[in-house]
Amino acid sequence: MRKINIMLSSRPRLLSDVMRNLIERQPDMIVVGDVIDPIELLFALQKTTADVVVITPLKANGYPKICVQLLKKYPQLRILILTIKSEAVFIYQTGFHRKRIEKPSEQVILDAIRNHNQPCPEPGESHAQ
């Protein structure tokens, strides 16, 4: 079974370490890179085949420019953005679809990663596989 390739772009370092630990405990996922700066992220993605990018923390009002740039260049990518206070996660994917999930648990985040090649769930749909 092919593992899901995940690129992390997180600040502060502690948050990146928490996300890495969560992902590395999953037998079907692998962290293929970890950068701090969104500009670094653009360059890092050229050197790897990430399926999902997890960006934390970021203000996600509207469509962050980094998502627009990444999805134009990598339309197969799914982007998860955890908000500054981790009260919500936003899922972005091709066509600039956006889904907000309130109070995300570890399982919800993992499900969003595992479902990277499926459309964002509609409001009210289950996040479980």
Q: How many residues does the chain have?
A: 129
Calculate helix-pair angle for 106-114, 13-24, nearest 10 degrees. Answer: 70
> In the chain, what are the domain boundaries?
4-114
Question: Rounded to an integer, what distance in angstroms lies between the CA atom of residue 118 and that of residue 26?
Answer: 19
Kindly provide the b/e burial profile for residues 73-98, where b requires at least 16 CB atoms within 10 angstroms of the residue's own CB: ebeebbbbbbbeeeeebbbbbeeeeb
CATH architecture of the domain with residue range 4-114: 3-Layer(aba) Sandwich (3.40)
**Strand 4-10 relative to strand 29-35, pairing:** parallel
* 9-47 residue pLDDT tens: 877 677 778 889 999 999 999 999 999 877 788 889 989
Q: Which two tokens stand for residue 70?
A: 């990444």
Type of residue numbered 117: N
With cut-offs at 50, 70 and 90, classify the pLDDT of residue 79: very high
**pTM given for the model:** 0.82
